[in-house]
Amino acid sequence: MKAPKVLEHIKPAHIACTKEDIAPIVVMPGDPLRAKYIAENFLSEAKLVSDTRNMFIFTGTYKGVRITVMGSGMGMPSMSIYAFELFYFFGVEKIIRVGTCGGLIPELNVPDLILADSAYNEGNFAYSYNGDPTHLVFPSKSLNETIRSTAKDLDLHLYCGTVMSTEQFGFYSDNEHVLARVPKNIRIVAEEMEAFALFHIADSFEKEASCILTVVDSKFSDVFMSQEDREKSLNESITLALESIIK
């Protein structure tokens, strides 16, 4: 199924810049302050091109390649708004989400890296978006292969698996009843809140999207990454995303 159509005269409601201000490749953390951190510490000649609702969008260059970094906000509704506008109005071709997650299997520890090879959601996001009843969606196969290859070049260990995109912050809720309803042939390795929406919307536009996650807490450990560390200490995943998306 394809993306829903909007009226021809409609302009983007949440991104205030020209199409030329946005690069065709985008690295997308959840936190807009993390986008600012990436722009200031990894990009050359970074320019703030939109700050509507304080969702900062910067465009600059990384190793000579023009790239945009912006926040997605928290949750599938916020991600869906920005991903849709980037693909539909601004001609973006690739998005790599750089986010955080909670580990749900004992093999994962803080701060391991995960590459999502699928995303599961129990709700009706896909059906509401374009009438698709699916609950399991997939990233770009070619982009994921590039990320895996790049991780080897950078000597970074990646754990690949299915993530669950929840509709509430798992750390503040009892997710065991939700996990108990996941089909037995799907092994959930971690939970986060945005990947399902990103993958489904990218697929509807026949565009590329992937998701790299850093484990910041685990149901099997008392270790918890601080808010400050979440904002500024995810350099491995940021570097991996930037190196992969320019290839």
What is the tens place of the pLDDT at every residue in 46-74? 999 999 999 999 999 999 999 999 999 99
DSSP β-bridge partners for residue 136: 120
The residue among 162, 193, 161, 164 whose CA lies nearest residue 72 is 193
pLDDT at 81: 97
Q: Which of 29-38, 66-75, 175-184 has the lowest mean pLDDT?
A: 175-184
Which residue type does 131 have?
Answer: G
What is the tens place of the pLDDT at every residue in 126-165? 999 999 999 999 999 999 999 999 999 999 999 999 999 9
Q: Kindly tell me if the per-residue pLDDT of 172 is higher than 80.
A: no
Contacts of 222 (CB under 8 A, 6+ apart): none
> Domain 19-245 class?
alpha beta
CA 126 to chain centre: 17
- Which residue ranges make up each domain of the chain? 19-245
Give the pLDDT band (50/70/90) at residue 7: confident
Catalytically active residues, by annotation:
217
The stretch 152-181 carries a mean pLDDT of: 89
